Amino acid sequence: MSTQTPPATGHDGKGLAKGTLGLWGSTVIGLASTAPVYSLAATLGFVVLTVGEQAPIAFVIAFVPMLLIAFAYRELNRDVPDCGTAFTWGTKAFGPWVGWMAGWGVAVAGTVVLANLAQIGGIYFWLLVAPDLAENVPVVTATGVVFIALMSWISWRGLEIGERLQNVLLALQYLALILFVVFATWQVVTGTAPEGSTTPEASWFDPFAFTSFDAVVEAVLLALFIYWGWDTCLALNEETKDPKRIPGRAAVLTTLILLVTYVGVTVAAMSYAGLGDAGIGLGNEDNADDVFFALKDALFGPWAWLLVVAVMISAVSSTQTTILPTARGTLAMAVYKALPKRFGTVHPRFRTPSFSTLLMGFVAIVFYVGMTLISDNILQDTILSLGLAIAFYYAITGFACVWYFRRTLFDSWRNFWNRLVFPLVGAVLLTGAFIYSAIDMLDPDYGYTVLFGVGGVFVVGVGSLALGAVLMVVWSFFAESKPFFRGESLNEDTAVLVPDEDELPTIRSIDGGI
């Protein structure tokens, strides 16, 4: 805000590589983090089962809070381009306790999704290579562990190599999605689509055609998951050229691209397969787990393996990009003494959060193997609980934007909309989604397991956040944490440790720095 002191003159900031990403690279990583192909494969069928032909408008409605929170991220990043994002902004707005929990929310979401992405990557790898092994739990788990370890190494090795890899992997994902839409649309138009296909109708986009409010909420909560991940752009702000502007632009651009992608694929799939409850119809519960797998043979014929490859690539690439924001979040927490200083270690050559990156990979592997050994059902429930952590720290960020900029909200119409209305509405919507979802998850029939007499999804989701609160209190008793919890190392008025603008490199980034 206008009264804030300028960034600290730390030159190198936290020691991360500067000017590595431009708008293109930042957007690519934001898109890769959402795992568009895998997200659609895992979610589209369930959304259709929930709201039928209103699935397209459900994806549009779910997009609204994501876009509104993206505005909050953009505004906060312009004033405080710190890689701690939700943690840093939450602390500056509401103090150390709220900020610490926002940082914990990011870490929980990253750990949970890494385990599930690794499992999907392992399953689809063997579906491609040796289908008989795709149901062999030890083999799939070992493969998932290799994927996490490999992507952790790439993230540790440097952001530049990670961006180059993501350019290729994202291009392959979008090639598969484009072919899916083109093939499906062509067959519908030419009348060669299977029996049950239908032409798109305007009613699919009618927000007043829903027949059940509960179904709307459930569908929107499902759809929220597939948009999550765009905020990785902001976590890499200190490594981005023009860090105050490009990350925010990339975040908004990412959400818009995702909206077009998801709605376009949904309409194509519904038109081609229809909504019937038999065969390849999207109303068939047997197809809900993976729509692409159900349609691949009919739509792609001998090239069906392309969709299998696309889902595997989507999961594996997102494994790498998910590590990035979590490692940088814990790095920032350590720099401001919210975590032990070891988390703040930066590799002298690669300029990455070395300890945080490797620890993130290790914790994800332990979590993945542990959940798999206990029960595959519990592992499935962890992904269902992911929405709670996402809504939790996104909502904190939205409210933080309003409060942090409270003195300048009415200075201009731009501030009024971008710093008050959009972030506040987004935060309120996500808070409502969190509360409604948590209450719904209490039902023992929700999810795959029952723990302590209530839904296992609730226990995992709320329990993981509660565990963070316990760890926060324990850490507050350590002498090293006192400057943070007393509000000395980071508060509303203290300057954050980010690179000086006049010290940023003048060379163009590897993607042109545009």
Confidence of residue 12 (pLDDT cuts 50, 70, 90): low
The string of DSSP codes covering 317-353 is HHHHHHHHHHHHHHHHHHHTTSS-GGGG---TTT-S-
pLDDT score recorded for residue 440: 86
Q: Are 462 and 389 in contact (CB under 8 A)?
A: no
Between 152 and 17, residue with greater pLDDT: 152
* pLDDT (average), residues 458-479: 95
pTM of the full predicted structure? Answer: 0.90
What pLDDT score was predicted for residue 457? 87
- Rounded Cα–Cα distance for residues 105 and 89 (Å): 13
pLDDT confidence bin for 501, thresholds 50/70/90: low
Mean pLDDT of 12-30: 86
SS3 call for 229: coil
List strand residue ranges (DSSP E) for 9-88, in order: none
Q: Say whether pLDDT at 504 is over 50.
A: no
Distance from CA of residue 347 to its chain's centroid?
A: 26
Alpha-carbon distance values, 204 to 67, 144, 270, 332 (Å)? 21, 38, 10, 44
pLDDT digits (tens, 9 = 90+) for 235-252: 999 999 889 899 999 998
Q: Tell me the average pLDDT across 119-140.
A: 92
354 compared with 376, residue with greater pLDDT: 354
Which range among 8-12, 131-135, 169-173, 319-323 shows the weakest confidence by mean pLDDT?
Answer: 8-12
The mean pLDDT of 392-402, rounded to a whole number, is 97
Among candidate residues 339, 337, 338, 358, the one with its CA nearest the CA of residue 347: 358
CA 325 to chain centroid: 10
Confidence (pLDDT) at 510: 38
Residue 506 has pLDDT above 50, yes or no: no
Contact (CB, 8 A) for 16 and 505: no
* Other residues' Cβ atoms within 10 Å of the Cβ of residue 199: 8
- Asked if residue 469 has pLDDT above 90, the reply is yes
Using one digit for the tens of pLDDT, what is the confidence trace for 50-60? 899 999 999 99
Query: Whole-angstrom Cα distance, residue 505 to residue 37?
Result: 35
Average pLDDT in the 173-190 region? 95
| Cα–chain center distance at 258 | 12
d(CA 375, CA 83): 35
Look at residue 3 and tell me whether its pLDDT is greater than 70: no
pLDDT digits (tens, 9 = 90+) for 435-464: 988 898 888 888 778 888 888 888 989 999
Model confidence at 387, in pLDDT bands (50, 70, 90)? confident
What number is the average pLDDT over the span 66-72?
A: 93
| Average pLDDT rounded to a whole number, residues 284-312 | 91
Residues whose CB falls within 8 Å of the CB of residue 39, separated by 6 or more in sequence, listed in order: 225, 226, 314
Instruction: Report DSSP state, residue 240.
Output: B
Q: Which residue has the higher pLDDT, 418 or 510?
A: 418
Q: Residue 17: which pLDDT band, with cuts at 50, 70 and 90?
A: confident
